[in-house]
Chain A
Amino acid sequence: EAQVTQNPRYLITVTGKKLTVTCSQNMNHEYMSWYRQDPGLGLRQIYYSMNVEVTDKGDVPEGYKVSRKEKRNFPLILESPSPNQTSLYFCASSPAAVRETQYFGPGTRLLVL
C-alpha cells in the first residue's frame, strides 16, 4: 500500500531531551516536507527537501533539523525541544514538486514538558 508513515505517533518528552521523529514513504517520491499544526494557525511548513541531500527551510525552521540521506526517509530532529514545540507534526511527500498532490502521513502528536 502506498503510504507515508511516521513514528512515533505520540510522544511526551521533557525540555532539552533530543528526539527524532521518523518519516518514510514507499512511493519513490522526490519531494518531502514537514509541517506543524497548531490551533488557529493552520499548517506551517518547517523544512522541505527536493531530493536526496537537498533540504531547505520552510516558514518556521527554528529549533528543528532535518536530513535526507535516502530518498524514502526524511527524519525531523529536535536537538533541544522546548514547550513551544508542543504540536501536531505531519510529514508529506509528492512525486517531484510542491505543486502536486501532497500525501500526508498520519501525524505525530508531541508534548514537551
Chain B
Amino acid sequence: GENVEQHPSTLSVQEGDSAVIKCTYSDSASNYFPWYKQELGKGPQLIIDIRSNVGEKKDQRIAVTLNKTAKHFSLHITETQPEDSAVYFCAASPNYGGATNKLIFGTGTLLAVQP
C-alpha cells in the first residue's frame, strides 16, 4: 500500500526565514497531495494541495512542488511569521484498487518560528 514519509519531524527557523518540509510517497499512481496545518488544540486545516498534472502551485507565501519521477513533494513557506508555528502534515491519495478513496498522511512536522 501507499506509504508517506515526512521530514524533518521538527523545524525551527527565525522569523522572516524560509521553511521547507519534504515528503516522499511510494505509490507512483498517487495523484493528489494536500498539505494540512494543525494549530495547538485544533483539527487540521487544508492550506494548499497539488494534483499530479501540475508541478508547482503557489498561494501567497506558501508553495508546493511535486516531482513525480522522484515521488516527492515539498512545502515551502517564505517570510515565516510566528503565526506559522504549527504542526504540518503532508498526505497522498493512492490510486490503486480499493485505496482510491483513502488519504495517507505523513507523520507531521512541528514548525517553530522564533521571533
Binding site for B on A (CB under 8 A): 4, 31, 33, 35, 40-45, 48, 50, 56, 58-59, 90, 92, 97-99, 101-102, 104-107
Give the chain B neighbours of A58 by CB distance below 8 A: 102
Binding site for A on B (CB under 8 A): 1, 6, 9, 31-32, 34, 36, 41-46, 49, 51, 89, 91, 93, 98, 100-108
Please, how many angstroms separate the alpha-carbon atoms of A98 and B98 in the complex? Answer: 13
Contact call A101/B46, Cβ cutoff below 8 A = yes
Give the chain A neighbours of B101 by CB distance below 8 A: 31, 48, 50, 56, 97-98
- Of B36, B91, B102, the most chain A CB neighbours within 10 A belong to B102
Contacting residue for A98 out of B9, B36, B103, B106, CB 8 A: B103
Give the chain A neighbours of B42 by CB distance below 8 A: 106-107
Shortest Cβ gap from B36 to chain A (Å): 8
Extra 19 A-B pairs, beta carbons < 8 Å, given A40-B9, A50-B101: A31-B101, A35-B105, A40-B107, A42-B106, A43-B105, A45-B102, A56-B101, A59-B102, A90-B43, A90-B44, A92-B43, A98-B32, A98-B100, A98-B101, A102-B46, A102-B103, A105-B43, A106-B42, A107-B41
Given contacts A98-B93, A105-B43, A106-B43, contact A56 B98 (CB under 8 A): yes
- Of B44, B103, B107, the most chain A CB neighbours within 10 A belong to B103
Please, how many angstroms separate the alpha-carbon atoms of A101 and B51 in the complex? Answer: 13
Shortest Cβ gap from A9 to chain B (Å): 10
- Of B44, B91, B106, B107, the most chain A CB neighbours within 10 A belong to B44
Contact call B6/A42, Cβ cutoff below 8 A = yes
Residue of chain B at shortest CB distance from A41: B107
Residue of chain B at shortest CB distance from A44: B105
